[in-house]
Amino acid sequence: MPIRVTRSVIPSLFTTMNLFSGFVAIIKATEGEYVVAAWFIVLSVIFDGLDGAMARLTKTSSEFGVELDSLADVVSFGVAPSYILYAAFFHQWEAVGMVIAGLPAMCGALRLARFNVQLTGFDKEYFLGLPIPAGALTTISYLVFHHLSNDTIPPTEIRPALLAIITIGVSLLMVSTIRYDTFPKPTPRAIKAAPVKFAIVLLGIVAIIVTKGKGIFPFMVLYLVYGMIRQLFHILRHEEEEETMEELEETPFDI
């Protein structure tokens, strides 16, 4: 009986390559090649974006694809970054370091489980909580391009504390309810709908290439901070609207 190959295998191949890149990142970390491991995490992010693009192009988006993508993501953007963080630094803090390094994997798994349960469609304008690939890029880019670098900034004495704060903060953002924008799709329709967003992402990619990776962390920090500031404005505006509604309801009785 011949094996039947359908179009749905195309996005699944990209998802599988995402998983394999995460696996290679772990191997490279065991060999002490943390910069190479970081680039394999970046490669996983690229494959993660391509599998969605291929699913839309071939019109084969499915629940199977969503589940496979989450399984790959929890390895490439959860387990792999956690192991790299532990092997590169947090092993020095013994049990405490083990817990802190494990947070990206644990919070990432929780975030993906929530995403799958709440998923009502395949095209989203925003994510609820920091996307796990963004979390991986933030922590790993800081680790290899700043914490382990020979630069004078940040000062060596505060690097361990900064790494711990960034790891814990990013992990908490993944399980938060802060809304984060999805990255625009490279289609004429998407570009026309959000030209500013697309231009910012394009400039960020160029900056990352020019700086040979050092621009990843600053770009991701801007993404994180923008989401938090927008959420704060949303909360304040919502409170003001509630106060206005209460005043309007009370007005007829102010006689």
Q: How does pLDDT run along the chain (255 residues), one tens digit per residue?
A: 455 556 678 888 999 999 999 999 999 999 999 999 999 999 999 999 888 778 777 777 778 888 899 999 999 999 999 999 999 999 999 999 999 999 999 999 999 999 888 775 555 678 889 999 999 999 999 999 999 888 878 888 999 999 999 999 999 999 999 999 887 666 677 677 778 888 888 888 898 899 989 999 999 999 999 999 988 888 888 765 554 444 444 444 343
Task: Give residue 20's pLDDT.
Answer: 97
pLDDT of residue 2: 53
What angle, rounded to 10 degrees, do the helices at 216-250 and 132-142 form? 130
Answer yes or no: are the C-beta atoms of 155 and 115 closer than 8 Å: no
Cα–Cα–Cα angle for 139, 145, 147, nearest 5°? 70
Q: What does the pLDDT read at residue 255?
A: 33
Please give the pLDDT value at position 81.
97
Q: How far apart are CA 229 and CA 223, in angstroms?
A: 10
Note the pLDDT of residue 65. Answer: 83
Which of 25-43 are b and which e, b meaning 16 or more Cβ less than 10 Å from the residue's Cβ? Answer: bbebbeeeebeebbbbbbb
d(CA 150, CA 145): 9
**Residue 103 lies inside a defined structural domain of this protein:** yes
What CATH code is carried by the domain that includes residue 217? 1.20.120.1760
Confidence (pLDDT) at 248: 41
What confidence score (pLDDT) does residue 249 get? 44
- Residue with tokens 């996983």, as numbered in its chain: 44
Domain carrying residue 246: 9-253
Please name the residue that has the structure tokens 């019109």.
Answer: 59
Residue 186: inside a domain: yes
Q: Which pLDDT does position 1 carry in this prediction?
A: 46
Give the closest residue to 83 by CA, choosing from 69, 104, 113.
104
Q: Is residue 1 part of a domain?
A: no
**How do residues 64-82 score in pLDDT, each as one tens digit?**
888 899 999 999 999 999 9
The pLDDT of residue 4 is: 58
**Predicted pLDDT at 145:** 92
- Domains held by the chain: number: 1
Residue 135: inside a domain, yes or no?
Answer: yes
Query: Model-level pTM greater than 0.75?
Result: yes
Residue 250: predicted pLDDT: 45
CA separation for the pair 248, 255 (Å, rounded)? 14
Does residue 4 belong to any structural domain of this protein?
no
